[in-house]
């Protein structure tokens, strides 16, 4: 009980604040360590690209030439991941704000109105969620204002004195502020680590693709065929694990590379549908895409992603570059 009754500036609060500072320093040290490890890996990939250029395996302009295709095919996916990071951060901030606003109001006025619940995040409509957050913020402000109004009325009626209000607020802050700061620090470093990992992931994926081009590996898959017909491409996959693996493939939405128009689901088949490979066994995948006239325009570049997943392995995403040529003219009978 003595710890709860301590003054805000007393030893109890000082010790708790010191713990919060230590926690923040630990989180910051961990962030710097992880960032240094990730940067070392990225620098190693840059060195491999440089070595390939020196050996003549890559053109000096390889990174510039491939950057545009990488941004077109993977830019949307990384933008979505960035949006998810930001939304998660703001969602937690909303939750914390609601919790502490209610607790502080209840500490001063026992029958304080309950604040509204924050809106749940809808991944399918992030813009709508931000609109709901704005509405929620206005409702929360109205609730806090009602609490303060009740506090003023009680003080005016002599039910509460200024010293009682000050003591109640100080006791609440002394008890809950360190925890609040701790949660804020956790949120901040989660966001910081997420942003750093996303940046490093994109750099390493791009550089690995450039190195793969030097090794003759597939960085992108080109599908070209006449409008109204189909385009076919194949690629080889090797199971590098020590156990049998089942390979699963699918193609994400396709859209114009210039961003014009909405994305759409392509009419695509992948054969074989289920590919099982023994350790070190190599298999062949054949991708066939129908270039229907309702979805594609001739001589316009479309981009998509072929996603390949195997048991226990990270998903491999191969950019697709799709172009429909003019339909082949056939003589009339």
Q: What is the pLDDT along the chain (333 residues), one digit of tens a residue?
A: 333 333 334 444 445 566 777 877 888 888 888 888 878 888 888 888 888 887 777 777 778 777 776 776 677 777 778 887 887 887 787 777 777 766 766 777 777 777 777 777 666 676 777 778 778 778 877 877 777 787 778 778 877 777 877 777 777 777 777 888 888 888 888 888 888 888 888 888 888 878 876 655 556 788 999 999 999 988 877 777 778 888 888 898 999 888 888 999 999 999 888 788 888 888 888 999 999 999 999 999 998 888 887 765 666 778 888 999 888 655 553
Of 199, 214, 229, which residue constitutes the final position of a domain?
A: 214
Handedness of CA 179, 181, 184, 190 (dihedral sign): negative
In this structure, the answer to whether residues 194 and 300 fall within a common structural domain is no
In this structure, the answer to whether residues 259 and 202 fall within a common structural domain is no
In this structure, the answer to whether residues 52 and 157 fall within a common structural domain is yes
Domain boundaries, position 317: 221-325
In this structure, the answer to whether residues 245 and 277 fall within a common structural domain is yes
In this structure, the answer to whether residues 286 and 181 fall within a common structural domain is no
- Cα–Cα dist 215/91, whole Å: 44
In this structure, the answer to whether residues 55 and 112 fall within a common structural domain is yes
Look at residue 241 in the predicted model and tell me its pLDDT: 73
**Smallest Cα–Cα separation from 53: which of 192, 214, 193, 194?**
214
Look at residue 4 in the predicted model and tell me its pLDDT: 36
Of 165, 181, 214, which residue constitutes the final position of a domain?
A: 214
What is the token pair recorded at 123?
Answer: 């991944």
Please report, to the nearest 10 degrees, the dihedral formed by the alpha carbons of residues 163, 165, 170, 171 taken in order.
Answer: 100
Kindly report the CATH number assigned to the domain that includes residue 279. 2.60.40.2310
In this structure, the answer to whether residues 206 and 244 fall within a common structural domain is no
In this structure, the answer to whether residues 98 and 60 fall within a common structural domain is yes
Please give the C-alpha separations between residue 255 and each of 81, 158, 287, in angstroms, as whole numbers: 18, 68, 18
Tell me whether residue 332 is in a domain.
Answer: no
In this structure, the answer to whether residues 239 and 136 fall within a common structural domain is no
Look at residue 70 in the predicted model and tell me its pLDDT: 75
Return the half-sphere exposure (C-beta side, CA atoms, 13 A cut-off) of residue 293.
3
Look at residue 267 in the predicted model and tell me its pLDDT: 94
Q: Do 252 and 267 meet the contact criterion of CB atoms below 8 Å apart? A: no
Q: Directed axis angle between helix 11-54 and helix 62-108, to 10°? A: 170
- Cα–Cα dist 146/8, whole Å: 27
User: Residue 310: beta bridge partners?
Assistant: 247
In this structure, the answer to whether residues 242 and 202 fall within a common structural domain is no
Look at residue 16 in the predicted model and tell me its pLDDT: 57
Q: Tokens 């957050």 — which residue? A: 133
Q: Under DSSP, is residue 284 helix (H, G, I), strand (E, B) or coil? A: strand
User: Residue 268: beta bridge partners?
Assistant: 289
> Domain total for the chain?
2
Look at residue 15 in the predicted model and tell me its pLDDT: 52
84-92's contacts with Cβ under 8 Å and 24+ in sequence apart are 84/123, 85/191, 85/194, 85/195, 85/198, 86/191, 87/121, 87/126, 87/129, 88/121, 88/190, 88/191, 88/194, 89/187, 89/190, 89/191, 90/133, 91/118, 91/121, 92/187
Look at residue 2 in the predicted model and tell me its pLDDT: 33
In this structure, the answer to whether residues 234 and 210 fall within a common structural domain is no
The answer for residues whose C-beta is within 8 angstroms of residue 167's C-beta and 6 or more apart is none
Look at residue 290 in the predicted model and tell me its pLDDT: 94
Look at residue 10 in the predicted model and tell me its pLDDT: 41
């Amino acid at each position: 009980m003595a710890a709860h009754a301590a003054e805000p500036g007393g030893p109890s609060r000082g010790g708790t604040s010191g713990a919060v500072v230590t926690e923040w320093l630990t989180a910051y040290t961990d962030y710097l360590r992880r960032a240094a490890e990730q940067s070392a890996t990225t620098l190693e990939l840059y060195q491999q690209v440089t070595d390939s250029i020196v050996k003549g395996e890559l053109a000096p302009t390889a990174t510039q030439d491939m950057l545009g295709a990488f941004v077109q095919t993977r830019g949307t996916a990384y933008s979505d991941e960035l949006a998810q990071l930001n939304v998660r951060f703001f969602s937690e901030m909303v939750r914390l704000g609601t919790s502490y606003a209610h607790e502080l109001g209840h500490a001063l006025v026992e029958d304080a109105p309950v604040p509204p619940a924050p809106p749940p995040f809808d991944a399918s409509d992030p813009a709508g969620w931000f609109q709901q957050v704005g509405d929620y913020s206005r409702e929360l402000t109205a609730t806090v204002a009602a609490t303060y109004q009740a506090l003023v009325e009680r003080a005016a009626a002599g039910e509460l004195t200024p010293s009682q209000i000050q003591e109640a607020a100080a006791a609440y802050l002394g008890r809950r502020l360190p925890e609040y700061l701790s949660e804020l620090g956790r949120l901040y470093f989660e966001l910081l680590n997420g942003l750093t990992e996303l940046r490093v992931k994109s750099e390493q994926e791009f550089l690995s693709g450039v190195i793969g081009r030097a090794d003759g590996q597939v960085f992108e898959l080109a599908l070209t065929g006449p409008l109204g017909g189909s385009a076919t491409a194949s690629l080889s996959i090797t199971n590098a694990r020590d156990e049998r693996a089942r390979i699963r493939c699918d193609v994400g939405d396709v859209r114009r590379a210039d961003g014009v128009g909405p994305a759409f689901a392509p009419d695509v088949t992948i054969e074989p549908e289920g590919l099982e490979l023994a350790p070190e066994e190599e298999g062949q995948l054949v991708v066939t895409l129908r270039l229907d006239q309702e979805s594609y325009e001739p001589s316009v570049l479309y981009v998509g992603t072929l996603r390949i997943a195997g048991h226990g392995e990270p998903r491999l995403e191969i950019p697709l570059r799709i172009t429909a040529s003019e339909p082949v003219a056939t003589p009339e009978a």
